[in-house]
Structure 1
Amino acid sequence: MLYFGFCFVISAQSEPRIGDELVIKSPTAQAYQYIKFPKPNILIKRGTVNSYKDVYENEVVINEVLTKDNGDVHVKLKNKDGTNFFGYVSIVKANYSKAIESKELVITP
């Protein structure tokens, strides 16, 4: 019975819901793999920033949850404070489970 309860709690935490709060962490590589931010060359051309450091530790809210045919769960994220990412991107998409696994996104307790 305890095992069943533990499994239920783990599965409940892995399913995103609209309004859930997450924190963006630094990417493991030079660019984010599972959060679809604009490429660095686009940011440099627009003159907004030179790196992704502006989004580190940003608190974001899940705006929409999308489930793909292959079972992947994607979410649309917006800043909790209502500002745009890099001054012009209001919403970004992310592969929820892979971004959580790679620690690009962290669930706010």
Structure 2
Amino acid sequence: MKKLTFLLFLAFGFSFANTTNPISQDVQVGDELVINVQKADKFNHVDFPRLNFIVKRGGLANYNSVDGKVVVVKNVTTNSQGNTQVTLEPKNGRKFFGFLNTVEADFTKALNSGEISKK
């Protein structure tokens, strides 16, 4: 009987130990996030313009200016597929690349891929 009780406690302990807390996906207007540049130097889930468009508008052809930039969530929407879309604005009030006031991002995918992180 002691062995059976021990095995039950052990089984329940392992089942609760394997439960991991996923990254908190709750985002509200006013939350602060940090933009992280990936090694491929390309954003898949944050809708920054392509590098050639940035050059045409007078900016430098790299994303280093947004690396580590703190942004504020201005709008949160959920689309028909259940993805959370957010509108991001720089916290310091400056524009992205000198001409963009806000950018859109798929919050869930960008957070999971590491393009943005919570501050």
Q: What TM-score results when the alignment is normalised by the length of structure 2? A: 0.79
User: In the alignment, is residue 49 of structure 1 matched against residue 49 of structure 2?
Assistant: no
- Which amino acid in structure 2 is aligned with residue 22 of structure 1? L
Determine the structure 2 residue equivalent to 1:23: 34
| Equivalent pairs, count | 102
TM-score with structure 1 length normalisation? Answer: 0.86
Structure 1 stretches (4+) deviating beyond 6 angstroms?
Answer: none
Alpha-carbon displacement from aligned partner over 1:33-70 (angstroms, at most 9, x marks no partner)? 00000110101122211111110000000000010011
* 1:101 is aligned to 2:80: no
User: Percent sequence identity over matched residues?
Assistant: 32
The structure with more radius of gyration: 2
Is the Cα contact below 8 Å between 1:78 and 1:91 reproduced in 2?
A: yes
The one of 32, 44, 52 equivalent to 2:43 is: 32
Separation (CA, whole Å) in 2 of partners of 1:25 and 1:10: 20
SS in 2 for 1:66: strand
In structure 2, the gaps of 5 or more residues are: 1-15
